[in-house]
Amino acid sequence: GGCRAPLPAWWGLLRGLLLAVLAAVSCQGNSVERKIYIPLNKTAPCVRLLNATHQIGCQSSISGDTGVIHVVEKEEDLNWVLADGPHPPYMILLDGNLFNRRVMLQLKGTSRVSGLAVAIAKPSPPQGFSPGLKCPNDGFGVYSKDYGPQFAHCNKTVWNPVGSGLSYEDFDFPIFLLEDANETQVIKQCYQDHNVPRDGSGPEYPLCAMQLFSHMHAVTSTVTCMRRSSLQSTFSINPEVVCDPLLDYNVWSTLQPINSSGKVDPEKEVIIVATRIDSHSFFWNIAPGAESAVSSFVTHLAAAEALHKVSDVHLLQRNIMFTFFQGETFDYIGSSRMVYDMEKDKFPLRLDNIHSFVELNQVALRNDSILWMHTDPVSRMNESVEVQVRNLLHILSNSSMGASVTLQEAGYSQPLPPSSFQRFLRVRHIPGVVLTDHKTAFQNRYYQSMYDTPENIRMQYPEGLSPEETLEYVTDTAKSLAEVATVVARALYRLAGGANNTSAIQADPKTVSRMLYGFLIKMNNSWFQSIIKPDIKGILGDVPQHYVAVSSPVNTTYLVQYVLANLTGTVVNLTKEECLNPEKTPSSEKEMYEYAWVQGSLDPNSTSRVPYCVRSTVHLSKALSPAFELRQWGSTEYSTWTESRWKEIRARIFLVASKELEIITLVVGIAILIFSLLATYFINAKADVLFSIPRDPGAVAY
Amino acid sequence: PALGLFLFTIARDPLRIIILIAGAFFWLVSLLLSSLIWFIAVKASDPRDEPLQKGLLIFGVMFSVLLQEAFRFLYYKLLRKAIEGLVALSEDGCSPISIQQMAYVAGVGFGLMSGAFSMINLLADALGPGTVGIHGDSQLYFLTSAFMTMVLIFLHTFWGILFFHGCEHRRWWEIMAVVVMHLTVSGSTFCNPLYVGSLVPSYLLMAAAAAWAYLLSGGSAQNLRRFLLCK
């Protein structure tokens, strides 16, 4: 090679440029890490929730919990984990059918289990599965030792007999749900290759292991974690909040517009129609809630649409308020907040304005098309309330004439099922009725669980349909819910003082089936995309879940708001500027209406949409438990549910080596170190012996 | 071993430390350049074509070896110039360090940097709870990587001595021998996970290079015998 001059000056610049280029391009992930770990991506953790006195859920150590995988598919496999296995602690891969209270309490009691991964059971367990309580929201409804003690604590009727209460237990190891059957198969294959005992003796290293990270920051109870969070927020520059209250927004809308910033005249009477829009399951953000939430609010939306089409709406004597409560699963967060706001005059309506209350709860699984009407027997002992309730029941029964829905009374001996109406009854004896498909215990055998899916409400689509066709296909479930909506709409019309013939009031099954598809199967469909604001179209994820989270509003609330606006509002001819700033337009009546600029549907041949302005009476009201407003974190009167914060949640599988191999590696390394130090020292010391020529290289200093 | 060499032979003399660090840096720059070429080649090609990717990897490795040796040559040229400067600065007209010592230190520098790059990311992943093997690789991955790194550090040291000696005395066949040895050792790693195919030849080559460097540095068989017996 030729002689080169010392490095030229521009070489430094080139080096800097090279480094910048290399830093800017993305790294593909360390390949050694990929040799060791297989990450599990489609999982859902179980997180910690806290209320005034307890913590529920699961916790892992701060650097994850590791354990040797053991697949438990029948009860006998548990013995290996609990007693026989030679390599505790174990990480169990549990078949969904074994995920019940008995097995879980056994695992809770032992220290040989470091975590659990549950594979979702397909098909759903036939005997039913509900991790909720047998008596949901007990203690926060209306029945207590002071009011109807014979009905308190489900003494008379156990509403959820399948309920195991698993969601409300506290586990000190992490529990994850494996949603993807392929990942479950990978884990089982790893187990088969490495962990299965051969010839009666234990399996040999290397063993297949799993690590789960789900460290939760909050402990003990809401009182403790909110106290710590408030201390942090007050005194620290970089506050570390440890838990957040569950909060979201209620959606409400009135048939005749009212001034939402003022107060309604005390003479004006309002009928409240209510449903809940949230659900829960053992795992975080898994809450399909088909029967427990979606069926009822979809019916409610269809009834609202049917009523708005009636011509003499503005002539009705009483107004109707369609209310969608969020957070009802957690001790009635939304409804308790609305009652509190009404009492404290922070809501346009007051409790005096309420004429009656109709609630829809779980209406999809009707037996012989019977819909049951539940009333509160304690308040009916008052004569005036009894008269109004009788009237209400009579109107409801009349409205079902000619429809294929039969309405029957549940009777005096039955208390009210868990419902938002109970919160209103706590403060005022309002005449009201709760409509359900069950007389005593729930028909829903998967109440508040991950199996409360469209299959649970018998929604079936024929094979081979495209997403658009599936959106438009009218299922039998949709038809039956539309019938319920028709009956409810007709009854409300009569209740509100309408005098005309009600046979024209019909709920549209097509709308119902589109809503069912959107809220249960695929949120990201063309109809939903056309009715939402342009800048939130990123929120439409894949599988819809209806959990009231801590960041608000959640997808469900947004969509209920915009669907209600679409079904009950009118399209007005305003430009985007006018629509987004209605106070500047003189005739907009900003207090009465809400204006929303929605992106419109896609032109069939182009990629652009035609947006328009919708005027509706749909409003949001905050659904945060009054306990947090009043800072009474130990309150037994209002819901105090909070969710813990966490840093990272992930899961991965890998092989672990035996302790012997690790020790050998370490010892060999130390031995080579010591030997080389000694050898170098001696060579250095005797260098003049080794290298005889004076002009020598290597280890000698002159 | 690298730590031992550093502690006992290099750490005392600041000039040697400077040469060591500079040598390490030269190796690093050569690696950067060769990885840039390989990266561009990979991005420009189809990632799903397995034989092509393997071929690109082999090409990348060979190119990297050639580039490393080229940088060793560059460093030799630099050090030659440096010796003239040192002679000018010294009081008695002799350089405080000879070119052979520089050769040894440069080799250790190259070896240290190459070893660090080979081992650091492995060590970072070895800290986790898992070990290699879930995709079917051998469990002895970490051990064999450690041994391979050690042999490479030694080899770089001996190649430094051989290479500079060849440049000094204009013996091009010595330089060619170093390049060929380096190519052989790097190529043998493609035999992995058949570890016997890569470790055994590398250790044999290391022994050969060690003997050759020892002879070039003024050792001989009698010296060796005297050293071992006088112990």
| Concatenated DSSP letters of A420-451 | THHHHHHHS---EEEEES-SSS-S-TTTTSTT
Of all residues in chain A, the one with the smallest CA distance to B170 is A1
Spatial separation of the C-alpha atoms in residues A290 and A298, rounded to whole Å: 10
Q: Does pLDDT of B231 surpass 60?
A: no
Question: What per-residue confidence (pLDDT) applies to A24?
Answer: 32
Q: Which member of A32, A679, A696 has the closest CB to residue B125?
A: A32
Question: What per-residue confidence (pLDDT) applies to A260?
Answer: 82
Residues from chain B that touch A11, judged by Cβ atoms under 8 A, are none
Which amino acid, A104?
M
The single residue listed with the structure tokens 């929730």 is A49
Spatial separation of the C-alpha atoms in residues A67 and A83, rounded to whole Å: 15
Of all residues in chain B, the one with the smallest CA distance to A673 is B1
Handedness of CA A370, A376, A381, A386 (dihedral sign): negative
Q: Does pLDDT of A361 surpass 80?
A: yes
CA A393 vs. chain centroid, Å, equals 34
Question: What per-residue confidence (pLDDT) applies to A562?
Answer: 92
Question: What per-residue confidence (pLDDT) applies to B168?
Answer: 84
In contact, A508 and A299? CB cutoff 8 Å: no
Residue B137 contacts A where some CB pair is shorter than 8 Å: yes
Residues from chain A that touch B29, judged by Cβ atoms under 8 A, are 15
Note whether B227 contacts A4, CB cutoff 8 Å: no
Strand locations in A47-89, DSSP E?
A: 49-50, 55-56, 65-72
Q: What is the ipTM of this complex?
A: 0.82
Residues from chain B that touch A697, judged by Cβ atoms under 8 A, are 98, 100-101, 103-104, 161, 216-218
Question: What per-residue confidence (pLDDT) applies to A533?
Answer: 85
Q: Which member of A665, A668, A684 has the closest CB to residue B8?
A: A684
Spatial separation of the C-alpha atoms in residues A5 and A502, rounded to whole Å: 100
Q: Does pLDDT of A81 surpass 50?
A: yes
Residues from chain B that touch A674, judged by Cβ atoms under 8 A, are none
Residues from chain B that touch A6, judged by Cβ atoms under 8 A, are 78, 81
Q: Of the given ranges (A164-168, A442-446, B98-102), which has the lowest mean pLDDT?
A: B98-102
Note whether A699 contacts B8, CB cutoff 8 Å: yes
Question: What per-residue confidence (pLDDT) applies to A433?
Answer: 94
Between helix B141-168 and helix A659-685 the angle, nearest 10°, is 20
Distance to chain B for A284, nearest Cα, Å: 26
**Element (H or E) spanning B50, and its range?**
helix B50-89
CB < 8 Å from A in window 63-82 of B: 70, 73-74, 77-78, 81
Which amino acid, A191?
Y
DSSP string, A205-260: SSEEEEEEEEEE---S-HHHHHHHHHHHHHH-SS----EEE-EEEEEEEESS---S
Distance to chain B for A67, nearest Cα, Å: 10
In 10 A of CB B120, how many CB atoms? 9
* CATH 3.50.30 domain position(s) in chain A: 32-151+165-216+649-660
Residue B45 contacts A where some CB pair is shorter than 8 Å: no
Q: Which member of A3, A673, A696 has the closest CB to residue B217?
A: A696
In contact, A365 and A444? CB cutoff 8 Å: yes
According to DSSP, the residues that pair with A117 across neighbouring strands are A93, A176
Residue A689 contacts B where some CB pair is shorter than 8 Å: yes
- Tell me the average pLDDT across A292-304: 94
Distance to chain B for A542, nearest Cα, Å: 29
Q: Does pLDDT of A21 surpass 50?
A: no
How many interchain CB pairs under 8 A, A with B?
150
Question: What per-residue confidence (pLDDT) applies to A148?
Answer: 86
Q: Does pLDDT of A648 surpass 70?
A: yes
Q: Does pLDDT of B80 surpass 90?
A: no
Distance to chain A for B112, nearest Cα, Å: 15
CB < 8 Å from A in window 82-121 of B: 96, 98, 100-101, 103-104, 121
Residue-wise pLDDT for B115-138, tens only, equals 888 888 888 888 888 888 777 777
Residue-wise pLDDT for A535-581, tens only, equals 766 666 677 888 888 887 888 898 999 999 999 999 988 888 888 88
Which amino acid, A31?
S
Q: Does pLDDT of A115 surpass 80?
A: yes
CB < 8 Å from A in window 170-189 of B: none
Q: Of the given ranges (A1-5, A245-249, A357-361, B14-18), which has the lowest mean pLDDT?
A: A1-5
Tokens coding B123: 């060590």
**Per-residue confidence band for B1, with pLDDT thresholds at 50, 70 and 90:** confident
Q: Which member of B4, B39, B219 has the closest CB to residue A680?
A: B4
Residues from chain A that touch B226, judged by Cβ atoms under 8 A, are 689
Residue A313 contacts B where some CB pair is shorter than 8 Å: no
Q: Does pLDDT of A257 surpass 50?
A: yes
Query: Which residue did the predictor score with more confidence, B199 or A175?
Result: A175
Question: What per-residue confidence (pLDDT) applies to B128?
Answer: 81
Note whether B4 contacts A679, CB cutoff 8 Å: yes
Q: Which member of B98, B132, B231 has the closest CB to residue A695?
A: B98
Q: Which member of B96, B131, B214 has the closest CB to residue A36?
A: B131
Residues from chain B that touch A679, judged by Cβ atoms under 8 A, are 4
Note whether B137 contacts A35, CB cutoff 8 Å: yes
Determine the residue among B40, B69, B131, B192 to mutate to test chain A binding: the one whose Cβ has the most chain A Cβ atoms within 10 Å. Answer: B131
Q: Which member of A653, A657, A676 has the closest CB to residue B1?
A: A676
Terminal-residue alpha carbon distance, chain B: 21
Question: What per-residue confidence (pLDDT) applies to A48?
Answer: 93
Q: Does pLDDT of A5 surpass 60?
A: no
DSSP string, A288-345: --IIIIIHHHHHHHHHHHHHHT-TTGGG-SSEEEEEEESSTTTTSHHHHHHHHHHHTT
Query: Which residue did the predictor score with more confidence, A289 or B131?
Result: A289
- Tell me the average pLDDT across A481-497: 92
Of all residues in chain A, the one with the smallest CA distance to B118 is A32
Residues from chain B that touch A665, judged by Cβ atoms under 8 A, are 142-143
CB < 8 Å from B in window 654-673 of A: 654-657, 661, 665, 668-669, 672-673
The residues near A374 (Cβ < 8 Å, ≥ 6 apart) are: A410, A414, A415, A416, A417, A419, A433, A434, A435, A436
Of all residues in chain A, the one with the smallest CA distance to B12 is A701
CA angle A512, A517, A518 (to 5 degrees): 100
- Tell me the average pLDDT across A87-108: 90
Of all residues in chain B, the one with the smallest CA distance to A657 is B131
Answer CATH for A247-569+617-624 from 2.30.29, 3.30.70, 3.40.390, 3.40.630: 3.40.630
Q: Does pLDDT of A235 surpass 70?
A: yes
Question: What per-residue confidence (pLDDT) applies to A539?
Answer: 66
Q: Which member of A1, A25, A665 has the closest CB to residue B73?
A: A1
- Tell me the average pLDDT across A311-315: 86
Residue-wise pLDDT for A362-398, tens only, equals 999 988 889 999 999 999 899 999 999 999 999 999 8
Of all residues in chain B, the one with the smallest CA distance to A209 is B130
The mean pLDDT value of chain B amounts to 83
Question: What per-residue confidence (pLDDT) applies to A588?
Answer: 65
In contact, A278 and A547? CB cutoff 8 Å: yes
Question: What per-residue confidence (pLDDT) applies to A4?
Answer: 44
Residue-wise pLDDT for B54-79, tens only, equals 888 888 888 888 888 889 888 888 88
Note whether B121 contacts A32, CB cutoff 8 Å: yes
* CATH 3.40.630 domain position(s) in chain A: 247-569+617-624
Residue B6 contacts A where some CB pair is shorter than 8 Å: no
The residues near A46 (Cβ < 8 Å, ≥ 6 apart) are: A57, A58, A171, A174, A175, A176, A177, A214, A282, A283, A284
Residues from chain B that touch A698, judged by Cβ atoms under 8 A, are 9, 100-101, 104, 161, 217
Q: Which member of B4, B39, B104 has the closest CB to residue A676?
A: B4
For the domain spanning A32-151+165-216+649-660, the CATH number is 3.50.30
The mean pLDDT value of chain A amounts to 86
Question: What per-residue confidence (pLDDT) applies to A225?
Answer: 92
Spatial separation of the C-alpha atoms in residues B189 and B185, rounded to whole Å: 7
Q: Does pLDDT of A10 surpass 50?
A: no
Q: Which member of B5, B70, B131 has the closest CB to residue A206?
A: B131
Of all residues in chain B, the one with the smallest CA distance to A682 is B231
Look at strands A113-119 and A90-95 and give their pairing. parallel
Q: Does pLDDT of B50 surpass 50?
A: yes
Residues from chain A that touch B146, judged by Cβ atoms under 8 A, are 669
Distance to chain B for A97, nearest Cα, Å: 28
**Per-residue confidence band for A92, with pLDDT thresholds at 50, 70 and 90:** very high
In 10 A of CB A75, how many CB atoms? 11
In contact, A115 and A60? CB cutoff 8 Å: yes
Q: What is the pTM of this model?
A: 0.84
CA distances from A99 to A120, A130, B225 (A): 9, 10, 74
Spatial separation of the C-alpha atoms in residues A350 and A344, rounded to whole Å: 9
Note whether B104 contacts A698, CB cutoff 8 Å: yes
In contact, B206 and B212? CB cutoff 8 Å: no
Residue B225 contacts A where some CB pair is shorter than 8 Å: no
DSSP A380: G
Region of B28 please: left (phi>0), alpha (psi -120 to 50) or beta: alpha
Residue-wise pLDDT for A676-701, tens only, equals 888 888 887 777 766 655 444 444 43
Backbone φ and ψ of A374, nearest 5°: -100, 140
Note whether B161 contacts A684, CB cutoff 8 Å: no
